[in-house]
């Protein structure tokens, strides 16, 4: 009986096997396999902390904290074990708790979730707004300095003024370039944090529903 049952399982598996080898099934299977491998690994053995956690100001500004992972990726394809842990503020547990606090504040103030997210966005992105103002001022100053430098070529002004406006252009460029990259990184990170928090709350709500609903 055991042999007959095993043969039936093998036959049913062979009938089901060609259907599994579609492109979509392979992708789903690879995702499930990665999740199993991720939960099977221990944090102490296979996962190192996020390099962004202990990054200095210069490393954060110049994104040098990501250089070891990028250097490893240039030598060989990256694998699951090569990726470090996410930053604590980027984890699903932290963002789920953060969304809980926002929702409780919305309920206490009798406001909508959209308004609560907007208020939180304006408060938490205040450094990004300062960076945006500095970037805009630097780009405007660079354009003005370029116009004044072009006037020096067409007029018989002092040579020192030309060097002055050239220095202003270089100084504004040194401000505009890193602030632009930093602004893009922080805004994308904030959007992903909100997305992770909302998705975590949706999954938590789904798991609480009964099977009949």
Residue 171 has pLDDT above 90, yes or no: yes
How does DSSP assign 112-165, residue by residue? -HHHHHHHHHHHHTHHHHHHHHHHHHHHHHHHHHHHHHHHHHHS---HHHHHHH
Please give the pLDDT value at position 21. 46
User: Among 6-15, 32-41, 162-171, 200-209, where is mean pLDDT lowest?
Assistant: 6-15
Closest to 193 measured CA to CA, from 119, 104, 86, 115:
86
Please give the pLDDT value at position 16. 46
Query: Could you tell me the pLDDT band of residue 193, with boundaries at 50, 70 and 90?
Result: very high
Which has the higher per-residue pLDDT, 29 or 167?
167
Please give the pLDDT value at position 156. 66
Which has the higher per-residue pLDDT, 184 or 13?
184
Distances in Å between the alpha carbon of 157 and those of 75, 79, 115, 168?
A: 54, 61, 55, 17
Calculate the average pLDDT of the chain: 79
Closest to 201 measured CA to CA, from 94, 100, 88:
100
Please give the pLDDT value at position 17. 47
Please give the pLDDT value at position 61. 82
Query: Could you tell me the pLDDT band of residue 24, with boundaries at 50, 70 and 90?
Result: low
Query: Could you tell me the pLDDT band of residue 48, with boundaries at 50, 70 and 90?
Result: confident
| Mean pLDDT, rounded, for 189-202 | 90
CB 98 within 8 A of CB 197: yes
d(CA 100, CA 183): 27
Query: Could you tell me the pLDDT band of residue 164, with boundaries at 50, 70 and 90?
Result: confident
CB 40 within 8 A of CB 80: no
Please give the pLDDT value at position 4. 53
Please give the pLDDT value at position 33. 54
Instruction: Check the CA dihedral 22-23-26-27 and report its sign.
Output: negative
d(CA 186, CA 182): 6
Please give the pLDDT value at position 78. 86
């Amino acid at each position: 009986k055991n042999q007959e049952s095993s043969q039936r399982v093998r036959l049913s598996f062979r009938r089901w096997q060609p259907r599994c080898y579609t492109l979509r099934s392979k992708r789903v299977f690879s995702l499930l396999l990665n999740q199993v491998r991720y939960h099977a690994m221990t944090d102490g053995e296979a996962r190192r902390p996020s390099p962004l956690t202990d990054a200095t100001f210069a490393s954060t500004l110049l994104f040098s904290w990501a250089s070891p992972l990028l250097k490893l990726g240039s030598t060989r394809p990256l694998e699951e074990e090569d990726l470090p842990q996410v930053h604590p503020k980027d984890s699903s547990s932290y963002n789920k708790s953060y969304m809980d606090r926002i929702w409780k504040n919305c309920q206490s103030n009798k406001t909508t979730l959209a308004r609560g997210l907007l208020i939180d966005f304006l408060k938490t992105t205040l450094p990004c707004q300062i960076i945006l103002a500095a970037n805009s001022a630097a780009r405007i100053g660079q354009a003005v300095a370029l116009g004044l430098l072009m006037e020096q070529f067409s007029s018989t002004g002092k040579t020192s003024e030309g060097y002055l406006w050239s220095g202003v252009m270089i100084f504004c460029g040194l401000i505009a370039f890193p602030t632009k990259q930093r602004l893009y990184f922080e805004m994308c990170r904030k959007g992903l944090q909100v997305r992770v928090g909302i998705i975590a709350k949706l999954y938590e709500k789904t798991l609480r529903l009964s099977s009949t609903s």
